[in-house]
């Protein structure tokens, strides 16, 4: 059985065996947008500032390019 990537409740018994897979697909489709939308994680929108913070904190940078026409 597929594990639940976000550690949420297990599906109730009686669901189709495909239900976990469908949930996983849903999670995948939701996960990336939610990654960007979650306000509890601060995202720089200025690349230079991000580099500065990375240098100060010795952390790597996770840089997202997103098309928002």
Partner 1 sequence: MLSPQDTRRGQLLRQYVRARITRMDQVDLALFDYDRNNTLYFFLLNADEQIYMRYGGRDAVSPDSYLNLASLELALEQGLELHRRYQQGALPKAERPKPLFPREIPLLVERTFKRNNCVECHLISDFQNIQREQDGAFDRVTHLYRSPDIKMLGIHLEVPKGLVVAEARDAAQAAGMKPGDRITAFNATPVWTFGDLQYHYDKVDRRARQVRITVDRGGEPVELPMALPERWWWTDLGFRQSTVDPRVYFASRPLAETEKRKLGLDTAGFASEVSYVDSVAPLLKSHQLRTGDIVFAVDGAVRDEIANTAELFIKLRKTAGETVTLDVIRAGKRMQMQLRTFRMSFRK
Shortest reach from residue 11's CB to partner 1, in Å: 16
Cα gap 69→60, rounded to integer Å: 28
Shortest reach from residue 14's CB to partner 1, in Å: 24
Using the minimum distance from each CB to partner 1, give the nearer residue, 15 or 34.
Answer: 34
Using the minimum distance from each CB to partner 1, give the nearer residue, 14 or 67.
Answer: 67
- Continuous segment of H or E residues that includes residue 27: helix 19-37
Residue ranges that bind partner 1, judged by CB under 8 A: 5-8, 27-32, 34-36, 38, 40-47, 49-55, 57-69
Tell me the longest C-alpha to C-alpha distance in the chain.
Answer: 53
């Amino acid at each position: 059985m597929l594990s639940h990537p976000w550690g949420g409740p297990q599906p109730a018994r009686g669901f189709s065996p495909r239900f976990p897979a469908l949930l996983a697909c849903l999670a995948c489709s939701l996960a990336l947008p939610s990654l960007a939308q979650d306000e509890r994680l601060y995202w720089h929108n200025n690349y230079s500032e991000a580099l500065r913070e990375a240098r100060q904190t010795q952390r790597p940078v996770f840089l997202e390019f997103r098309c928002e026409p």
